[in-house]
Amino acid sequence: MKTQTEKSQAALNPQKALSLLEEGNKRFVENLKADRNHLDQVNETRDGQYPFAIVLSCIDSRVPAELIFDQGLGDIFSVRIAGNFVNEDILGSMEFACKVAGSKLIVVLGHTSCGAVKGACDNVELGNLTGMLKKLQPAKDAVTTDGERSSKNDEFVQKVADKNVELTIQQIKEKSPVLKEMLDDGSIGVAGGMYDVASGEVEFYHKP
């Protein structure tokens, strides 16, 4: 597998960038990793980097973006925070990735059985975690359920995780004029997806 270069990055559009991630996840699920020499990639990226996407995902140890999308050094930017939400610093990182470094796609990736989402559903309070989990409150408030509104209700937890991805994409558009302009002119795209910790599969349900 070739290392991303300025030329190969420039040849991509948001849809093709998404296809690269979809193809990579298919390889991951089938245990067919692309043939790469990571030491060669260290050498090939020493003077610059040209990632084609930036992936915002959770800190969950089961969801390392480079592995589940079978990507190598220099292929993607990876931003991780419990609950995969955005704040000013993450938005700034996305602006750097897209406006400065040339990435074509932003991915907001949630996952099943998310501990942060469960904590928000249960109104957990613990040090700085308390304030962090409040960032997920809008997703929780936006979801209706016939059952218990707690982590004991798996369907409710998953609905909140899905809604959190949707609202995070909305916030990217609303809170970053830089990214909104690039999205509007089609130079970048944004996608939302959900990683299944039981199967290894990513389902994209918001696509550019």
Tokens of 76: 């993607």
Q: Angle CA(172)–CA(164)–CA(137) in degrees, nearest 5?
A: 105
Does 58 belong to an annotated binding site?
A: yes
The type of residue at 61 is S
The whole-angstrom separation of Cα 57 and Cα 78 is 8
**Residue 61: which of 80, 34, 38, 77 has the closest Cα?**
80
Inter-residue contact 91 to 106 (CB < 8 Å): no
**Residue 58: which of 136, 127, 5 has the closest Cα?**
136
Does 60 belong to an annotated binding site?
A: yes
The type of residue at 8 is S
Cα-trace Rg, the chain = 17
Does 111 belong to an annotated binding site?
A: yes
Q: Within the chain, what is the greatest distance between any pair of CA atoms?
A: 55
Q: End-to-end alpha-carbon separation of the chain, Å?
A: 25
**What is the number of other CB atoms lying within 10 angstroms of the CB of residue 75?**
26
Binding residue positions for Zn(2+):
58, 60, 111, 114
Binding residue positions:
58, 60, 111, 114
